[in-house]
């Protein structure tokens, strides 16, 4: 990372680590590293076991396009609360199904947390698994969206199967480039400064039919409350589930008060015909119910539109180098 202070400021630095035999430190912006043998695979079948325990169907890209790889989402789901990692195409956290941790994926996550100690004490609660079926599958240059992430934490990616090359490219000129090969069982630790200043990509590998799986494990700070469909946490205006509960209580109270008001008004009216009185009461109660439900649906739609607009604005912002996020 010292080369930016040593070399001329307009001269890009290109580094390649394509035959990795030892762990690497100080990559890209200096806070990124590659740790070997984080995951042990004595039987040589871990990729197949991870692939078989996950559901890779039904996942599409930002504009509903077919991705050049398969994906699966897992998270620590407890009592109807789901960690949410949003990016273009996934603005509400419920566009694609998030599954509960599967046994082997959870074991790998525990190995990641243990390997980060003692320098990084970070509990991971979300995983995006990418399945590269052959050398034609890839992921284009991007930076991880930190709208919902622990912005001071690291992102860990475990590689299984075929050894592929990750390219890290500095956003601003001169565009420093680091290429590093990711061996089976290794963990790439992406630091927050590198994620801010660099983009990264998994390059194609011509001619290979050998599959690869990566488990990208994150500490997510935004959550979906499944019973209400509401988001809360770092990436939205509502910061806690208690706020959701209070707002829901207020909404229910308003609805209940409306029913009571209508009922009291109906009871105070006198009519010559009891049948007519009953019909009026029924009609008013139905109208009040419809109004209350419409009010709740309107608030939900307005809230989701606001959250989507805020997420879109965040994802479309430009970095200091002028490159889109």
Confidence grade of residue 40 (pLDDT, cut at 50, 70, 90): very high
| CB 232, CB 163: distance < 8 Å | no
Cis, peptide link before residue 118, omega less than 30° from 0: yes
Q: What is the pLDDT of residues 182-225, one digit of tens each?
A: 999 999 999 999 999 999 999 999 999 999 999 999 999 999 99
The CA-to-CA distance between both ends of the chain, in Å, stands at 23
Q: Which residues, including other chains, have CB under 8 Å from residue 322's CB and lie 6 or more apart?
A: none
Say if residue 47 is in the same domain as residue 156: yes
pTM of the model: 0.83
The span from the CA of 36 to the CA of 24, in Å, is 9
User: What does the pLDDT read at residue 324?
Assistant: 47
Tokens for 203? 């390059």
Say if residue 156 is in the same domain as residue 274: no
Evaluate whether residue 99 is within a structural domain. Answer: yes
Confidence grade of residue 249 (pLDDT, cut at 50, 70, 90): confident
| CB 125, CB 76: distance < 8 Å | yes
The span from the CA of 265 to the CA of 263, in Å, is 5
The span from the CA of 54 to the CA of 97, in Å, is 12
The span from the CA of 248 to the CA of 218, in Å, is 30
Boundaries of domain holding 157:
3-225
Say if residue 48 is in the same domain as residue 103: yes
What residue has token string 């919902």?
A: 148
Handedness of CA 265, 271, 274, 278 (dihedral sign): negative
Mean pLDDT of 266-291: 61
User: What does the pLDDT read at residue 89?
Assistant: 74
CATH number, domain with residue 169: 2.60.120.590
Please state, rounded to an integer, the average pLDDT across all residues of the chain: 86
User: What does the pLDDT read at residue 298?
Assistant: 77
According to DSSP, the residues that pair with 71 across neighbouring strands are: 130
Confidence grade of residue 92 (pLDDT, cut at 50, 70, 90): confident
The strand pair at 81-83 and 222-225 is best described as antiparallel
Tokens for 13? 């630095």
Domain stop point among 195, 225, 255? 225
Evaluate whether residue 292 is within a structural domain. Answer: yes
Sheet holding 81-83, edge to edge: 81-83, 222-225, 230-233
The span from the CA of 46 to the CA of 44, in Å, is 6
Cis, peptide link before residue 234, omega less than 30° from 0: no
The number of folded domains in the chain is 2
Q: What is the pLDDT of residues 120-131, one digit of tens each?
A: 999 999 999 999
Domain stop point among 225, 258, 281? 225
């Amino acid at each position: 990372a010292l080369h930016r202070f040593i070399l001329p400021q307009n001269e890009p630095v290109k580094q390649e680590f394509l035959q990795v035999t030892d762990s690497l430190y100080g990559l890209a912006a200096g806070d990124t590293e590659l740790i070997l043998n984080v995951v042990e695979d004595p039987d040589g079948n871990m990729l197949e076991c991870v692939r078989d325990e996950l559901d890779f169907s039904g996942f599409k890209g930002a504009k509903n396009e077919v991705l050049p790889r398969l994906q699966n989402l897992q998270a620590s789901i407890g009592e109807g609360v789901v960690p949410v990692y949003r990016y273009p195409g996934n603005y509400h956290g419920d566009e694609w199904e998030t599954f509960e941790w599967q046994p082997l994926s959870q074991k790998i996550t525990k190995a990641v947390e243990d390997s980060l100690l003692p320098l990084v004490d970070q509990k991971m609660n979300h995983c995006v698994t990418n399945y590269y079926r052959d050398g034609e599958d890839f992921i284009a240059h991007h930076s991880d969206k930190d709208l919902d992430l622990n912005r001071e934490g690291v992102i860990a990616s475990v590689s299984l199967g075929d050894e592929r090359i990750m390219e890290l490219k500095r956003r601003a000129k001169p565009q420093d480039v680091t290429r590093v090969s990711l061996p089976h069982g290794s963990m790439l630790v992406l630091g927050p400064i590198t994620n801010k200043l660099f983009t990264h990509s998994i390059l194609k590998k011509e001619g290979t039919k050998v599959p690869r799986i990566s488990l990208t494990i994150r500490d997510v700070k935004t959550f979906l409350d499944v019973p209400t469909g509401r988001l809360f946490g770092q990436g939205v205006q509502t910061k806690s589930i208690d706020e959701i509960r209070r707002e829901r209580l207020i909404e229910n109270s308003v609805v209940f008060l409306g029913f009571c008001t209508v009922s009291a008004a109906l009871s105070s009216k006198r009519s010559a015909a009891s049948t007519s009185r009953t019909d009026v009461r029924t009609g008013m109660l139905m109208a009040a119910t419809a109004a209350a439900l419409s009010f709740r649906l309107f608030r939900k739609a307005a809230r989701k539109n606001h959250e989507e607009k805020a997420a879109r604005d965040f994802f479309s912002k430009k970095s200091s180098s002028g490159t889109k996020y």
